[in-house]
Every structure is written in C-alpha cells, then in structure tokens.
Structure 1
Amino acid sequence: MRILVLGAGALGGYFGGRLVEAGAAEVAFLVRPARQAALGRNGLVIDSPFGAWRGPVAALTADQVAPGWDVVLLSCKAYDLADAIAAIRPAVDARTAILPVLNGLAHVDRLAAAFGSDRVLGGLAKIQATLGPDGTVRQLNDWRWITFGERDGGLSDRTRAIEAAFAPARGVVAQAVPDIMARMWEKLVHLGTSAIGTVLMRANVGEVVRAGGSAFLHRLLDRNAAIAAAQGFPMRDAFMAEYRALFADPASAYGTSMLRDIEAGGRTEADHILGYLLDAARRAGVEDEAHEAALLHARAYEQRRAAGRLPGR
C-alpha cells in the first residue's frame, strides 16, 4: 500500500512515522520546502511513551507530487484546508482514498465537493501530540487511536487494507469501523465540550474542575449530546459516562489543541469547531449562549493576534 501523508506535524508525523517505522507500507510526506529540508537533515523524530524513534523518511513538496497513491492521509489544520485540497489534487487518481483526520465535521462536505463523495472516508484521531520547535513530534499521553470507515456505513476492502497497514505499528491502535459518522459525532461532542470550557476559562480540564466548573462542563456535554441527537446520532450511555468522569476529574491534564494554539499565539480552528457547533445548536433549538461566548472569545483573540496585540508579542 502506498500512503501519502499531508504534513509531518503532530498528527501526520506521528501516525506516518509509525507506519515508516513498521515498514508495512510505502509512505511519503507532502510538506513545505523548509520542513522537507529539515527532514532531510535530521530525519523524522518521535518522542513517545511507546518508544522513541528517529529515521529517514521520504518527503515531497507540492511540485514533486504525482498520482499513484492508495491513500492520502490528511492531517492538516482546518484553516489550511483550501491549501491542502490544492496540494493533494495532483496525487489523487481513480485508486485514491482520502482519509481526513481533522477535528470536527465541516471539512467532509468540502472534500467531497472537491474530489467526489466516494473518494472521501470518514476518520478521526484521538491523540495528544505537538510539534516542538526543534521539529520533534512529541506524544503527550497514551492516546494513540486512529479510526476510519466508509461514510455510508459498513466495512470495505480499502478500510480493511488501511487497518492491516497499521497493524504492526507500535504506539498506534488503528481500527476500521462500520459506523464512522457516529464516532465522528462522538468526538465532536467531547471535543466541543472541552474546547468551549478550556477556551473560555483558559485552563485545562482539571484546572476548570478544581475551580468548581464540573457542573458547567457537564451541562455543555449534555447540550452537545442533544445537538448530535438532533442530527441523528444519539450518544451511547458508555460514552456519556466516560466523559462525565473526565469532566469531573480534578487531576485531569486534558487541554485541547485550541487552547494550546491560543497559549502559543497561533491560529485556531474556532470557526471549524465552535462555529459549526453553534450553527448546529441553533438549528436544533439547543441553548447556545456558552457556544456563542466561546466562539466570540476565539474570534476576538484572532483579531488581537492579527493586530499584533497579544501579550508578550
């Protein structure tokens, strides 16, 4: 199997790097010239609780891409989606499946419009990782899941083949599932809850809980579950129990990538996640004041960032 990974950052670098390490697929990374040069000098470096790895990888720039890939693993940030679509277009032919692991759901329709609905799988990643200033991909905890499937349900030869390619990779649990859209809604429910809470409070989940915010997080969880149910995807009892426990844990260090982006002075996926949920809440008639406040908070931060008015910068 030939797999092209868009980006060699936190997600793409981790999952793609583990595939290279396992040697079960032919893997290349589609990156910008500066990242290509760094990978050429230093290789790809992973720092992980499941074992460190460093090795050479194939890295291509946009002008070097040609067709012939079985899978394109799309791991960009949502705000880079338009550029990502343009970058991978030369790689996509009749054999290619596009596997996006972006947060949220808003990207799915855009990819289907660009490449055809049958080309686009559903996918999600549950991992906390970051790309360090030195180019090292650092996994922050033991989350290591990548899940994917056909958006119309069922299993297929291509999703089983992707699962098989990941099977020997250490530090990865890859699963082809028959209900990927329900799984993606589950992720959006818990991610939306934690993003609203951590962005508004500028603190991780444990800090919010220790400040007395567990009931607030639980209300957000219930509202986001109601949004999903209105879309035809009710949350499982086991899922709700798991995340009620997480959002009541004073020791939790869970912080969303959106919070880390704000703390680092970077761009955010606010419209892709918070904006999507706010629109869905209003369509479903779900109370949306916290959703609106979190989106306004993130957008106001973006305005300050664009004006160069962030503290210490």
Structure 2
Amino acid sequence: MKIGILGSGAMGCLFGAAFHRAGHDVTLIDVNQPHLDAINAHGLELDTRAGVEHLPIPARLPADATGPFDLVLVFTKTFHTEGALAGIAHAIGENTHLLSLQNGLGNDRKLAGVVSDDRVMVGASMLPSDLEGPGKVRSHGEGYSKLYPAFGGDPAMAQAVADALTAGGLPAQLDPDIHAAIWSKAIFNAAMNPMCALTRRTPGFLGASEEARATIRAVVEEGVAAAHAHGVMIDAQPIHDLTQVSMTDHADHEASMLQDVKAGRRTEVDAINGAIVKAAAEKGLSAPVTQTLWHLVKLEEAKLA
C-alpha cells in the first residue's frame, strides 16, 4: 500500500515505522520543518524496548505529498483535522481510505466529509509514544490498537491495515464494536490527560496520590454513565484497570496534553473532556468532575493568549 501519515508526531511516526517495517510505501506528512529535515537527513530515529532504529522514511510538507494514497492515517490534533486533510486534497484519490486513530469523540464525521462513508475507518490505540526531539521518537511500553469501518460495511481494508501493523510490530485487530473502544479511550484520556497537564507531572506521580486516584475514578464513572446513556454499554472496570497500568507501567510517560501545556500549545481537551460533558448533557446527565477538569485546562490555554 501507498500510505500517508498525516500528522507525523510521536504517534504518527510510531505507526509509520510499523507500516515501513511491513514493506509498505510510507510518507510522513507534517508541518514541523525541523522534524522533517532531521528525518530526511538521518532517518527516523525510533527508540523502543527492542532497541534503537534509524528508518529511511521520506518526510514531506503537505503540499509536497504525492498521491494518490491508498491509505491516509490521520494523527493530527483533532482541531486541525479539516485543515490538514484540505492540505493534502491533491493526494486523496477516488479509492483512498482514511483512518483516524485520533483522541476524543466525533472524528468519524470529520473524515466522512472528505471521502465516502465506506472509505472511513476509525480506531483506538493504547500505545505510549513521545517525541524526544526533531526526528527522534521514543516508545517504551506495551499496548494495542483496534480499528474498524466507522459506519459498517466491508472490513477488508481494515483487515489489511491491521495485518500490516501487526506484521510491523504493532499488534492490531478488528473490533466490530469499535465505537465502544473509542469511548473507552476517550474516557481514559479524560481521566489521565488533564490531571497530568494540570499537575505538570507524569502518571506515576498521580498514582502516589489518593486525591488524584479518587479524581481519576470519578471521571471514569462519569464517562461510562454518559456512554451508557448513548447506548454504548461499556464496562468501567477495564478503564479503571488501564488507568492503573498507566500509573505503573507507563509511570514516566508524558501524556500528550502535558506535552502541549509545557510547550504552550492548545490541547485537545475540547474533543475529550468537553465532548464527554456535552454527550452527557444531551441525555440529561451531568459530569461535574470531568467538566471541572475541562474548565481548568481551558484556563491553562487562556494563559497562552
């Protein structure tokens, strides 16, 4: 497959590397020029528990991406989705499939505005990855990914993508109940990301605090209630378990929202906590702890002005 990774930060590079290892024609696409320059000059440096690799994957600005792609994997920040896809419109053909593994809720509808519904896939990935510097990505920790056509239909392309990722070292599987997986990840992120961002600490710090653990538990329960109200009957316990894994196995991982706050960038809190609060309100529910974290992170963003 000819694959474009739209948004080639920490996660995009991790997935691009997997497709590259599996023998596919991969292009990393981003607007971070020093990052692109470093990759083109020295290869993508990927540090995993298996060791350090230097992978010769081409990295391009959106305008320089050449298509048509068979698959575009969307890993941009959620608020950049439409603009980023518009930037590579010339490389999206009549058979191009789009896959979002982005954070939050509602990404499927954004992709459906670009290609037909049958070419939209969505997924959730529970893999840690950090951008250590231009052209350098570190991923120490275990995880998995799930994906499926967003609106049903033939899963053949989704299966091909999952097989390619697995062959490239990132275990992936099809999940017909993909929207439950997306809700579960959004709830996990709503609990962990703002707490890391607001305390300027990694999950290990949160695990040592009973106040932090109680707040995290409350957000998970609020999110699960909102999901149930929308007919997504997920179980809270696996999400609680994932938060515990985050606080132990991934104790030093810098959550994306923490990275954004430290760098003075806008976060994805609207698509995560904000989306859950709004989904709850649509069904007459409140999510006060989730909402408080949303508002506090928005105050952090207001400092940027």
Determine if contact 1:278/1:291 at 8 Å carries over to the other structure.
yes
- Give the deviation of 1:252 after TM superposition: 4.5
Contact persistence 2:67–2:90 (CA under 8 A) = yes
Q: Shift of the alpha carbon at 1:81?
A: 1.6
1:13 maps to 2:3: no
Structure 1: which amino acid aligns with 2:205? E
Deviation string 1:99-155 (CA, Å, 9 cap, x unpaired) is: 11110123221221233322211112212111122420111x313423211123476
1:175, CA displacement in angstroms?
A: 1.5
Q: CA deviation at 1:34?
A: 4.2
Q: Which residue of 2 aligns with 1:82?
A: 82
1:53-132, aligned counterparts within 5 Å? 53-132=53-132
**Whole-angstrom distance in 2 between the partners of 1:60 and 1:203:** 33
| Unaligned segments of structure 1, at least 5 residues | 307-313
2:182 is the counterpart of 1:184: yes
Deviation, structure 1 residue 163:
1.9
SS of match in other structure, 1:187: helix
Residue matched to 2:165: 166
Instruction: Name the stretch that deviates more: 241-250 or 42-51.
Output: 241-250
Q: How many residues matched?
A: 303
CA distance in 2, matches of 1:241, 1:9: 28
Query: In the TM superposition, what whole-angstrom CA distance separates every residue of 1:206-248 from its partner, at most 9, and x where no partner exists?
Result: 4234222223322221111101111111113652562475588
**Correspondence for 1:258:** 257
Q: How does 1:1-313 map to 2 (within 5 A)?
A: 1-23=1-23, 25-32=24-31, 33-139=33-139, 141-153=140-152, 156-170=155-169, 172-213=170-211, 214-236=213-235, 239-240=238-239, 242-243=241-242, 245-246=244-245, 252-253=251-252, 256-306=255-305
Q: CA deviation at 1:27?
A: 1.2
Per-residue CA deviation, residues 258-285 of structure 1 (Å, 9 max, x unaligned), is 1232133332112121211121122233
C-alpha displacement of 1:297: 1.3
Q: Hey, what's the Cα distance between the residues in 2 that align with 1:14 and 1:62? A: 19
SS of residue in 2 equivalent to 1:274: helix
The CA distance in 1 between the partners of 2:14 and 2:218, in whole Å, is 34
Q: Secondary structure at the match of 2:12?
A: helix
Task: Report the residue type matching 2:175 in the other structure.
Answer: V
Q: Distance in 2 between matches of 1:21 and 1:126?
A: 20
SS at match of 1:46: strand
- Post-superposition Cα deviations, 1:47-73, rounded to whole Å, max 9, x if no partner, equal 111332102112333233344321101
Equivalent position amino acid for 2:15 in 1? F
**Cα separation, 1, equivalents of 2:35 and 2:239:** 40
Hey, what's the Cα distance between the residues in 1 that align with 2:259 and 2:286? Answer: 27
User: How has the CA–CA distance of structure 1 residues 78 and 251 changed in structure 2, closer, same or farther, with 3 Å as cutoff?
Assistant: closer
Alpha-carbon distance in structure 1 between the residues aligned to 2:130 and 2:244: 25
Q: Which amino acid aligns with 2:162?
A: E
1:138 & 1:297 partners in 2: Cα distance? Answer: 29
**Letter aligned with residue 6 of structure 1:** L
Alignment-mate amino acid for residue 100 of structure 1: S
The structural deviation recorded for 1:298 is 1.4
SS of the residue aligned with 1:149?
strand
Instruction: Indicate the percent of aligned positions where both proteins have the same amino acid.
Output: 26
CA distance in structure 1 between the aligned counterparts of 2:254 and 2:64, rounded to whole angstroms: 37
Alpha-carbon RMSD across the aligned residues, in angstroms, is 2.5
Do 1:123 and 1:146's aligned partners in 2 also have CA atoms closer than 8 Å? yes
Report the AA paired with residue 299 of structure 1: K
Q: Distance in 2 between matches of 1:254 and 1:60?
A: 28
Matched residue type, 1:296? H
Seen in structure 2, the aligned counterparts of structure 1 residues 241 and 103 have a Cα distance that, compared at 3 Å, is closer
Q: Judging by fraction of residues, say which structure has more strand.
A: 2
CA contact (8 A) 1:218 1:247 kept: no
